Amino acid sequence: MAKAKRTIKQAAPVHKNEVITASVTDLTYQGLGVAKVDGFPLFVTDALPGEKAEILVTKVLKNYGFARVQRLLEKSADRVELTDQLALTTGIAPLANLAYPAQLAWKKSQVQELFKKARLDVEVADTIGMADPIHYRNKAQVPARMINGRLETGFFRRGSHKLIPTDSFYIQDPAVDEAIRVTRDVLQEFGISAYDEEEDRGVIRHVMARIGKATGELMVVLVTKTKKLPEAEAIAAELRARLPKLESVIQNVNKAQTNVIMGYQNQVLWGKPAIEDILLGKKYLIGPNSFYQVNPETTAKLYQLAKEKAELKKIDIVIDAYCGIGTIALTVANDVAEVYGVELVEAAINDAEENARINQVTNSHFVAADAPSQMLKWAEEGLKADVVFVDPPRKGLTADFIEAVSEISPKRLVYVSCNPATMVRDIKDLVDHSYALEGAIQPVDQFPQTTHVEAVAVLTK
């Protein structure tokens, strides 16, 4: 009987706390530099491709390790010198040390590489970016913790639950930063406690602020563990006095022991239950739980691009799958005969119907249902759409959804993706269902200073 081959376990060529000199060759999807020692990858904080550095090994696992820069020996021409390293240490803006043109080029290359690995021969256009790629977010959800006996707000250090207090979040609208800062100060003055997840006690879990970029309307949401918020009326009054653009103060109750930020129970402490914003000429009501894109400037570019690529006609029947609060559906409604939207979250569909009403759109039809199931139902009912827009979650499309698309048989399918990896997989499946890519894949930088990239593709029957 033959002897089984013995696997000889190879020790990693580096060890913790070792300082080595290494060249950085790539960036990970988390924005960490990649250096290799005898083929063993080290992921290095604040290191860019083309740089050479002395690095301190901080953690060694079986197949890879982590390190941080001790001393840069050769700097990249694309390096941005940061006065505040917080954006990197918290992961708020993991590409903040990379010049913006280089960020756009890197995101294009990521999309190109995914299609290349899938053996799909496509053109990828240059990434559409922003003139001002900082302070763009219209929403922040900031955790609260007790530090030295008082409530503080900030962000967690990368890979931990240790809160780093901060007044500035780098990529958020200044009015949102101010709202978070003022709310923290008011809660401190009233002696309100932050929630302790280990002890399962305390009041404030998160502070959320969101602003209508076009209207300037501001909302503050206090996410509480408890149903009762001490001094609620006085807190709301103090916030009103200090935030002139404030239109809404909401208490959101989340009693569950979970890492999900928002609960489903909302109480208006003062003002309106929702604020308003304008996107591509349409008004949208945004409540505390509403899904609304956090970068409306590039969202407008993204949706305008999707609309143009759809080549819509006045006689067209259109489906907006994963429609959320109806932003794509209502953007195209005036250019088509009928538009159908489907979204699993019933509250989002309620928002979509209300948004259709306030914009006097009468040719839209919204359904609260699982998108793949509803697509199959529409196919069985004989609905034939001319154009289908899909803007799915990060997991992409299901096999059932793609089968339903094949049954409904639209002439054009416009795919808006927040995860190019699943987009590539889905496009391969759609090609197998008699669809062909038309034109270039268009990356859009919806989240500057981060590693995320959106992309738009068009497929024709």
Q: Give the residues across from 66 on adjacent strands.
A: 43, 59
Ramachandran angles phi, psi of 60, nearest 5°: -125, 120
Q: Does 343 belong to an annotated binding site?
A: yes
Q: Is 323 a catalytic residue?
A: no
Q: Does 354 belong to an annotated binding site?
A: no
User: Which residue out of 319, 325, 418, 459 is catalytically annotated?
Assistant: 418
Cβ-contact 251, 232 below 8 angstroms: yes
Q: Does 293 belong to an annotated binding site?
A: yes
Q: What gap in Å lies between CA 29 and CA 33, rounded to an integer? A: 10
Q: Does 70 belong to an annotated binding site?
A: no
Q: Which of 209, 216, 252, 215 is nearest to 232 (CA)?
A: 252
What residues form the annotated binding site? Answer: 293, 322, 343, 391
What residues form the annotated binding site for S-adenosyl-L-methionine? Answer: 293, 322, 343, 391
Catalytic residues: 418
